[in-house]
């Protein structure tokens, strides 16, 4: 996802910015840029693609002597990955970089356009620089203009602004997106996370939401809603590998915690006003389409199954899901009134790619749901929706699954809108629930501690059954896959109603049942399935908003108004359980044995 670096001081600025952005590369980006003001001279460079392209463009540029500088790596959200949309964004005499989303940018843009301001990009960020210059023209004091600008911004942002109107200062503001200030010798750094400034700055201050200000002559002037604010710095970490994990023990843990945040990116520009939009989809994609087939592997297959429930229920369109490696050799019957969807985190999975090629040969329209732009699957598909989860480093997929499921939920609403299969009230209820998803994904310290404590009971036994019904069946499959991948314990996901058709023979006190018991979908049915297991002495860990007397262990969830909010909240519980069991067993959580992140062979 997007990254920010800033520097004010006398050192060569280009290298500081480019090296800093390189440290943020692992988050993923599709364009980058830098801007420097030195001796009243303003210079900027932008390039699409890898940082190498920006390095090549800036080869003959050097910036020695005192100056201010900002840099950015962008992951496209509003507008395509082009040079014009890359940051820093330029006004007449200022530059801005920004992470996050300015929710009211359309309103601000209209206001500015009515005052003859011309916009060059399709981004929300550009409004910040024009707003600033507009205020500055009315009251020529840069900090006053910046304060007025910040007071108009709604949404999440971490932003840096430099301007010829105050060429010795960097202006900053933070709300909802991370930003820190690093202190070296007579120099100040900014960054969206530690790694770019480790080895350069010695002290750091992590900005809090609502803080803004400027730095000049080596001093930082900090403000919040109450006015000027004192702050204390702390020593900066020295271990880069640790800093990439933002203090978490494993990338997987960090990625579980990140889910609340990345979900905003997934929805950005797509869940607007009272409809779902996919700017990237051509209007005619669903013309003459009567059915959907989804093909995927592993975790992505579980997301696909989740999607099939949503597409049939919400969009009223028949939807079948197949494991790509099976689909390839079954000589499937394909009709051109079927839309062929592939789901893949990496976009490189050999079986999924081959399934897609087969469908295309049969004349089907294709759509991919993928986390990696320009990957083989995205290139091969007619159209693509990016999940925007950012790079996932843990081999066991977490945030990729969450964002795939979210895209499928959005797609179900999108298709329902096109087919007029949903009434306005129901659509509003769905959108209202959707907007609450980031909150449902927040990891609560108490919950994590509880799962850590109870995980010690789940290290042995002869197996785990994750059970659920409806949407919670794919979630049970995914919960079991997570556990087996990183704990190496035998785990199965099962539709709860199927237990009595065979697997219940395994039930005894050494069989651990993880029961997903949502309140909003078939609660009584799943309850009686779990009672049957309890009667056979199985050890039950129940996850539900409703207290359940027969549970040996119970994790109470909070969202009980919409199945998908329950789904996402329970998903986090199962991920944390797998994590904690794996840690207790001393396994390598991020690189489990025998597994690879991208499976490019059959």
Q: What are phi and psi of 417, to 5 degrees?
A: -60, -50
For ligand F6R, the closer CB: 335 or 490: 490
Element (DSSP H or E) covering residue 452: helix 445-454
Asked whether position 306 contacts ligand F6R by CB under 6 A, the answer is: no
Q: Total residues contacting ligand F6R (rule CB under 6 A)?
A: 15
Residue facing ligand F6R at closest CB distance:
298
**Do residues 63 and 35 touch, judged by C-beta distance below 8 A?**
no
The single residue of 245, 316, 360, 597 carrying the catalytic annotation is: 597
Contacts for 117 with CB less than 8 Å, ≥ 6 apart: 130, 134
Q: Which is nearer to ligand F6R, 6 or 298 (CB)?
A: 298
- Residue 591 interacts with ligand F6R (CB under 6 A)? no
> Of 459 and 596, which has the nearer Cβ to ligand F6R?
596
**Nearest CA-CA partner of 244 in 4, 51, 25:** 25
φ, ψ at 216 (rounded to 5°)? -155, 140
Binding of ligand F6R by 298 (CB under 6 A): yes
List CB contacts of 541: < 8 A, sequence separation 6 or more. Answer: 454, 458, 512, 513, 514, 515, 551, 552, 553, 554, 555, 577
Taking CA atoms, 231 is separated from 183, 204, 364, in Å, by: 13, 11, 60
Query: What one-character-per-residue DSSP string does 233-300 give?
Result: -EEPP--HHHHHTTT-SSHHHHHHHHHHHHHHHHHTTTEETTEE--TTS-GGGGTT--EEEEEE-HHH
Within 312-351, the residues that bind ligand F6R by CB under 6 A are 344-346, 349
Among 102, 165, 396, 540, binds ligand F6R (CB under 6 A): 396
Which of residues 163 and 376 has its CB atom nearest to ligand F6R in the complex? 376
Burial class (CB in 10 A: 0-12, 13-18, 19+), 589: buried
Contact 112, 131 (CB under 8 A): yes
Sole binder of ligand F6R in the list 58, 149, 266, 300 (CB under 6 A): 300
Residue 521 contacts ligand F6R per CB under 6 A: no
Q: Which of 2, 295, 297, 370 is catalytic?
A: 2
> What does the DSSP 8-state code read for residue 198?
B
The answer to whether residue 2 is catalytic is yes
Q: Does 149 bind ligand F6R (CB under 6 A)?
A: no
Q: How far is the CB of 583 from ligand F6R (least distance, A)?
A: 17
266/346 with CB nearer ligand F6R: 346
Residue 28 or 178: the one with the smaller Cβ distance to ligand F6R is 28
Region for residue 102 given its phi and psi (left: phi exceeds 0; alpha: psi -120 to 50; beta: otherwise) = beta
CB of 483 to ligand F6R, least distance (A): 11
Applying CB under 6 A, among 68, 220, 297, 551 the residue interacting with ligand F6R is: 297
DSSP secondary structure string for all residues of 94-113 = EEEEEEEEETTHHHHHHHHH
Choices 39-47, 165-173, 293-301, 418-426 (CB under 6 A): range interacting with ligand F6R:
293-301
Closest CB to ligand F6R among residues 63, 300: 300
Q: Is the separation of the CB atoms in 319 and 294 below 8 Å?
A: yes
Of 345 and 403, the one with the shorter C-beta distance to ligand F6R is 345
Q: How far is the CB of 340 from ligand F6R (least distance, A)?
A: 15
Map the footprint of ligand F6R across residues 423-452, applying CB under 6 A: none
In the 8-state DSSP scheme, what is residue 584?
H
Residue 574 found at the interface with ligand F6R (CB under 6 A):
no
Q: Would you say 187 and 8 are in contact if contact means Cβ atoms under 8 Å apart?
A: yes
Chain residues 462-481 in contact with ligand F6R, contact rule CB under 6 A = 481
Q: Does 264 bind ligand F6R (CB under 6 A)?
A: no
597 is catalytic: yes
175 sits near ligand F6R (criterion: CB under 6 A)? no
Asked if 299 is part of the footprint of ligand F6R (rule: CB under 6 A), the reply reads yes
Q: What gap in Å lies between CA 294 and CA 377, rounded to an integer?
A: 13
Shortest spacing between CB 415 and ligand F6R, in angstroms: 22
Print burial letters for 417-440: b (CB count within 10 Å at least 16), e (below 16). bbeebbeeeebeebbebbebbbeb
Q: Taking CB under 6 A as the criterion, which residues in 480-499 touch ligand F6R?
A: 481, 485
Instruction: Kindly tell me which of 193 and 349 has the beta carbon lying closer to ligand F6R.
Output: 349
Least distance (Å) between residue 329 CB and ligand F6R: 18
Binding characters for ligand F6R, 348-367, by CB under 6 A (x = yes): -x--x---------------
Ramachandran area for residue 490 (φ above 0: left; ψ -120 to 50: alpha; else beta): beta
Alpha-helix residue ranges (DSSP H) falling in 95-199: 105-113, 126-138, 142-152
Which residues does the annotation mark as catalytic? 2, 597
Interacting residues toward ligand F6R by CB under 6 A: 297-300, 344-346, 349, 352, 396-397, 481, 485, 598-599
């Amino acid at each position: 996802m997007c990254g920010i670096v800033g520097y004010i001081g006398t050192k060569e600025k280009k290298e500081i910015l480019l090296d800093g952005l390189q440290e943020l590369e692992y988050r993923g980006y599709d364009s980058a840029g830098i801007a420097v003001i030195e001796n009243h001279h303003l210079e900027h460079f932008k390039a699409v693609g890898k940082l190498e392209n920006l390095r090549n463009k800036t080869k003959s540029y050097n910036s020695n002597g005192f100056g201010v500088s900002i840099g950015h790596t962008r992951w496209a959200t509003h507008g395509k990955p082009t040079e014009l949309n890359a940051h820093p964004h330029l006004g007449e005499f200022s530059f801005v970089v920004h992470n996050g989303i300015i929710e009211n940018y359309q309103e601000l843009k209209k206001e500015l356009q009515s005052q003859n301001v011309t916009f060059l990009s399709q981004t929300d960020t550009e409004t910040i620089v024009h707003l600033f210059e507009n205020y500055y023209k009315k009251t020529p004091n840069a900090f006053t203009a910046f304060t007025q600008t910040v007071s108009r911004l709604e949404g999440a942002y971490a932003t840096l602004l430099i301007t010829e109107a105050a060429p010795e200062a960097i202006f900053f503001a933070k709300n909802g997106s991370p930003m820190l200030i690093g202190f070296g010798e007579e120099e100040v750094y900014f960054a969206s996370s530690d790694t770019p400034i480790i080895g350069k700055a010695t002290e750091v201050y992590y900005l809090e939401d609502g803080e803004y200000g400027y730095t000049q002559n080596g001093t930082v002037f900090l403000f919040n809603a109450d006015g000027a604010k004192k702050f204390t710095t702390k020593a900066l970490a020295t271990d880069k590998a640790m800093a990439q994990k933002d203090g978490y023990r494993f990338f997987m843990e960090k990625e579980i915690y990140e889910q609340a945040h990345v979900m905003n990116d997934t929805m950005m520009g797509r869940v607007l006003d009272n409809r779902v939009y996919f700017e990237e989809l051509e209007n005619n994609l669903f013309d003459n389409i009567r059915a959907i087939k989804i093909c995927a592997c592993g975790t992505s297959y579980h997301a696909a199954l989740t999607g099939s429930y949503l597409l049939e229920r919400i969009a009223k369109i028949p939807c079948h899901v197949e494991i790509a490696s099976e689909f390839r050799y079954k000589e499937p019957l394909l009709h051109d009134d079927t839309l062929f969807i592939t789901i893949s985190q990496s976009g490189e999975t050999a079986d999924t790619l081959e399934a897609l090629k087969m469908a295309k040969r049969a004349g089907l329209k294709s759509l991919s749901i993928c986390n990696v732009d320009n990957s083989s699957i995205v290139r091969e598909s007619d159209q693509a929706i990016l999940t925007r989860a950012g790079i996932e480093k843990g081999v066991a997929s977490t945030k990729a699954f969450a964002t795939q499921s979210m895209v499928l939920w959005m797609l179900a609403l999108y298709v329902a809108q096109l087919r007029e299969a949903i009434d306005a009230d129901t659509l509003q209820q769905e959108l209202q629930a959707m907007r609450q998803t980031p909150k449902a994904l927040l990891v609560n310290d108490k919950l994590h501690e509880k799962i850590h404590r109870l995980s010690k009971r789940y290290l042995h036994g002869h197996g785990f059954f994750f059970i659920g019904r409806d949407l919670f069946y794919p979630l049970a499959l995914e919960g079991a896959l997570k556990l087996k991948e990183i704990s190496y314990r035998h785990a199965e996901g099962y539709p709860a109603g199927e237990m009595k058709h065979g697997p219940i023979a395994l039930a005894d006190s050494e069989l651990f049942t993880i029961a997903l018991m949502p309140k909003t979908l078939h609660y009584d049915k799943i309850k009686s399935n779990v009672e049957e297991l309890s009667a056979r002495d199985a050890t039950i860990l129940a996850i539900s908003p409703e207290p359940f007397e027969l549970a040996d262990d119970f994790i109470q969830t909070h969202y009980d108004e919409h199945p998908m909010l329950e789904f996402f909240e329970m998903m986090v519980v199962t991920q944390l359980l797998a994590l904690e069991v794996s840690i207790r067993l001393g396994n390598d959580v991020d690189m489990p044995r025998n597994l690879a992140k991208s499976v490019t062979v059959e």
